[in-house]
Amino acid sequence: MKVLLSGGCKNGKTGTAADLALRLAGTDGRRIYAATMIPYDDEDRARVSRHIEERAGMGFETLEIGRNIASALDAGPDAVYLVDSVTALLLNEMFSDPESAEADPHAVDRCREGLLRLAAGAKHAIFVTDYIYSDAERYDSFTETYRKNLASLDRALASVCDIVIELCAGIPVFHKGSAADLTPGRES
């Protein structure tokens, strides 16, 4: 079972994704939390700490993977992978050289390749992303390129995922699949 989970900032995506991972793993399945955020400031570090605290006692093994997401597969294909988040992964790949102010134009291709390899190689994977590309606001060229690239990654993942969910004010809206598809024993 592959799931793409999108929605606005601080909308419950991580908690929802963790609950889905627990459901897919069952009582004794291996759970891998692929944390993609590379913290740069106190706000980032606080968010990382909050996420660690929220999943305490859930049995997740945390892999800090800011780049090269397909390397998570080293943990084996039978685990349930929770990738949090595609949004941070793209940012990390775009600025893999902290000395450069220029975005790497090949970052989106590396991300797409790695995410699709992870989706193909894992029995179960949940990909968390942020829905940041639908407003009518016009931003600077960097931000517009980032939004376009994230939308491209989300479309690629949606095409290979069994279920696509958008959280709207914390309420799941199924764009592909249904809640019934998340019933244990119905996974593909």
User: Exposed, middle or buried by CB within 10 Å (0-12, 13-18, 19+), for 10?
Assistant: exposed
Tell whether the model's pLDDT for residue 184 goes beyond 70: no
Q: How far, in Å, CA of 89 to CA of 174, rounded?
A: 24
Q: How far, in Å, CA of 176 to CA of 138, rounded?
A: 29
For the chain, give every domain's residue range: 2-170
pLDDT above 70: percentage of residues in the chain: 97
Task: Provide the CATH number for the domain formed by 2-170 in this structure.
Answer: 3.40.50.300
User: Exposed, middle or buried by CB within 10 Å (0-12, 13-18, 19+), for 88?
Assistant: buried
Q: What are 31-88's pLDDT values in tens digits?
A: 999 999 988 889 988 988 888 888 888 899 999 999 999 999 999 999 999 999 999 9
Q: Which residues pair with 168 in a beta bridge?
A: 171
Cis amide bond preceding 85, omega within 30? yes
Question: CA-CA distances (angstroms) from residue 156 to 75, 128, 130?
Answer: 23, 13, 15
Q: What are 84-102's pLDDT values in tens digits?
A: 999 999 999 998 776 777 8
Tell whether the model's pLDDT for residue 139 goes beyond 80: yes
- Look up residue 87 and give its two tokens: 């949004």
Q: How would you label 105-130 residue by residue, b for 16+ Cβ within 10 Å and e otherwise?
A: eebbebbbebbbebbeebbbbbbbbb
